[in-house]
């Protein structure tokens, strides 16, 4: 009891969720704040998680016909200005480069010199620069479709930042496609949302709702934005990936014109879709517990850590050799998802208890202790990260090794089931505005983060009703589900006018 309390994350989730989150990211050694305000340093354990996200998602993009390319970090201001809604949406968070040189100043320091004729914007997203490039590439319908993805970084100047969730610079991928017809572009927009849904549910083990954003929540310049939305453990929503149908808006702004099959000049139809390091924060907030991070096994930087236990140099040599043997045998196995099992041996000369806790906090799925007595019995001592930190079981070595692929799958499925149960328990159909208000009003003023969760309520489709709940309760419509009519018709929670079906309302990150 006392050992656990000393090692657990402080504060606990229930005490202060926001601070708990920061402490988990720190304790798991995933990222830290940097000397540059608002920017983070992603540490090896966090970056390795991102690399696994990248590798698996990239394979899904390639399997759906996309290729990768790279476009400039800087965007001429005039490009951004070409699409009115787009520039309005991003203007407030642009980092602007105005000079290209430093010179000795009057006080001995360096001052910017060489003012640029046209300021450059550090990309907040790349629709305009990529659009200008596609305009050069596309002449005929034969040049379409273009199906390109870019892995890179973007900058959106944020004043209030939180590691992974909101930082001035973050890593992401952005897909940009151009098509001959509206139908094709729509198919692409939906296809990529489905890729995100599959990835977030099957790899990150986070259940999501899918649907369309309302007009007020759309990507600036898009005709429609499709999204996946997840519920975190504090019952707030996290937008977890978006796919935009841009219609001909950006093609017109950038001049992506092609000669059609009938010989006419037409504007292309474009899409864009993005997914970022923000979802690392989403994984922490969905799976983390009061002992630290819990990595979904399918994307964990390592799936098994083997901890040799020893008291003397002689024991050390034996334990390490035994541990290496187990790691080697595990690496020859494949997970049920087809990748080799990833196993590491932590040989550091650190107190065994302390070492064990470090791995608990990092969220590695399986911890295996091997000491002299286990070696004698040809056995191991196993702890699963989805169980209590002190819960361990002994098992024969061979038997354990053979069990690992199924065990990882069981843990992955268990994490998803737990997250889904949390969402289900905190989602409610609500029909009266008073009850709706109570649902989103914290019962305890000292813990404003504790509120109802997702309210499934009727909405007439009117902007005024949406704005009212946003202004009064800081609640937004997360999406209009694709199958909105399935929940049956009713009356708008705000104005009482007819509604086609229920939509999820929630507080959001
Ligand atoms: Zn209404």
Contact between 307 and 369 under an 8 Å Cβ cutoff? The reply is yes
Q: Name the band, by pLDDT with cuts 50, 70 and 90, for residue 6.
A: low
Question: Contact, 72 vs 129, CB < 8 A?
Answer: yes
Under DSSP, the state recorded for 509 is -
Rounded (10°) CA dihedral 6, 12, 17, 21: 30
> Residue ranges of the alpha helices (H) in 223-299?
249-254, 278-287
Which pLDDT belongs to residue 167? Answer: 94
Structure confidence at residue 3 (pLDDT): 44
Question: Model confidence at 88, in pLDDT bands (50, 70, 90)?
Answer: confident
CB-CB neighbours of 259 under 10 Å? 15
Residue 478 has pLDDT above 60, yes or no: yes
Q: Which residues contact 73 (CB under 8 A, 6 or more apart)?
A: 122, 123, 152, 153
What's the pLDDT tens digit per position in 374-383?
999 999 999 9
- Whole-number Å distance, alpha carbon 474 to ligand 1 midpoint, is 17
Both tokens of 425, joined, read 């328990």
Q: How confident is the model at residue 413 (pLDDT cuts 50, 70, 90)?
A: very high
* pTM listed for this prediction: 0.95
Overall average pLDDT of the 208-214 stretch: 97
Dist. CA 317–CA 90, nearest whole Å: 59
Ligand 1 center to residue 492 CA distance, Å? Answer: 5
Q: How far is the CA of 434 from the centre of ligand 1 (A)?
A: 15
CA of 254 to the centre of ligand 1 (A): 37
What pLDDT, on a 0 to 100 scale, did the predictor assign at position 449? 52
- Is the Cα torsion angle 202, 145, 210, 18 positive or negative in sign? positive
The CA 181 to ligand 1 mean position distance, Å, reads 34
Question: Do residues 327 and 307 touch, judged by C-beta distance below 8 A?
Answer: no
d(CA 282, CA 206): 9
- The DSSP output letter for 316 is H
Please state, for a pLDDT cut of 70, what percent of the chain lies above it. Answer: 97
Give, in degrees to the nearest 5, the angle at Cα 462 between 249 and 221: 15
Q: Residue 89 Cα, ligand 1 centroid: separation in angstroms?
A: 25
CA of 445 relative to ligand 1 center, distance in Å: 29
Q: For 324-375, write each residue's pLDDT tens digit.
A: 999 999 999 999 999 999 999 999 988 889 999 999 999 999 999 999 999 9
- Report d(CA 231, CA 235) in Å as an integer: 6
User: Which residues, 6 or more positions from 325, have their beta carbon under 8 angstroms from its beta carbon?
Assistant: none
Distance 164 CA to ligand 1 centre (A): 35
pLDDT digits (tens, 9 = 90+) for 45-75: 999 999 999 999 999 999 999 999 999 999 9
Mean pLDDT of the chain: 94
CB 250 within 8 A of CB 127: yes
pLDDT at 5 over 60: no
pLDDT tens-digit profile of 94-114? 999 999 999 999 888 999 999
């Amino acid at each position: 009891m006392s050992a656990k309390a000393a090692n657990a994350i402080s504060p606990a989730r229930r005490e202060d969720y926001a601070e708990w989150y920061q402490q988990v990211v720190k304790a798991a050694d995933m990222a830290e704040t940097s000397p540059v305000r608002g920017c983070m340093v992603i540490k090896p354990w966090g970056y390795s998680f991102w690399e696994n996200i990248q590798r698996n998602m990239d394979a899904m993009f390639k399997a759906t016909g996309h290729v990768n390319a790279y476009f400039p970090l800087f965007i001429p201001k005039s490009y951004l200005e070409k699409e009115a809604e787009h520039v309005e949406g991003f203007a407030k968070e642009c980092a602007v480069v105005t000079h290209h040189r430093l010179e000795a100043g009057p006080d001995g320091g360096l001052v910017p010199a060489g003012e640029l004729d046209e300021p450059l914007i550090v990309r907040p997203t790349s629709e305009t620069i990529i659009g200008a490039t596609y305009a050069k590439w596309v002449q005929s319908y034969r040049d379409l479709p273009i199906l390109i993805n870019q892995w890179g970084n973007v900058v959106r100047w944020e004043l209030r930042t939180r590691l992974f969730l909101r930082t001035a610079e973050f890593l992401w991928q952005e897909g940009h496609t151009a098509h001959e017809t509206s139908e094709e572009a729509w198919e692409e927009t939906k296809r990529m949302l489905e890729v995100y849904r599959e990835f977030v549910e099957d790899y990150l083990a986070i259940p999501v709702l899918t649907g369309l954003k309302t007009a007020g929540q759309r990507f600036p310049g898009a005709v429609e934005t499709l999204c996946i939305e997840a519920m975190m453990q504090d019952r707030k929503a996290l937008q977890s990936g978006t796919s935009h149908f841009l219609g001909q808006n950006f093609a017109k702004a950038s001049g992506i014109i092609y000669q059609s099959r009938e010989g006419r000049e037409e504007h292309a139809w474009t899409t864009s879709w993005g997914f970022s390091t923000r979802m690392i924060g989403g994984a922490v907030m969905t799976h983390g517990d009061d002992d630290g991070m819990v990595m979904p096994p399918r994307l964990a930087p390592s799936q098994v850590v083997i901890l040799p236990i020893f008291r003397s140099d002689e024991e050390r040599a034996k334990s390490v050799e035994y541990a290496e043997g187990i790691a080697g045998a595990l690496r020859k196995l494949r997970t049920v998802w087809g990748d080799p099992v990833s196993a590491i041996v932590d040989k550091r000369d650190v107190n065994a208890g302390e070492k064990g806790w470090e791995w608990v906090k990092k969220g590695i799925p399986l911890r295996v202790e091997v000491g002299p007595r286990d070696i004698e019995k040809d056995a191991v001592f196993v702890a699963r990260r989805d169980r209590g930190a002190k819960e361990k079981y002994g098992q024969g070595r061979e038997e354990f090794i053979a069990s690992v692929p199924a065990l990882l799958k069981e843990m992955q499925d268990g994490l998803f089931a737990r997250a889904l149960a949390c969402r289900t328990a905190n989602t409610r159909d609500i029909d009266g505005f008073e009850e709706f208000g109570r649902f989103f009003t914290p019962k305890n003023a000292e813990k404003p983060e504790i509120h109802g969760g997702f309210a499934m309520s009727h909405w007439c489709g009117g902007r005024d009703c949406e704005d009212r709940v946003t202004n009064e309760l800081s609640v937004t419509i997360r999406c209009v589900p694709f199958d909105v009519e399935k929940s049956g018709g009713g009356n708008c929670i705000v104005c009482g006018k007819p509604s086609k079906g229920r939509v999820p309302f929630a507080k959001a990150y």
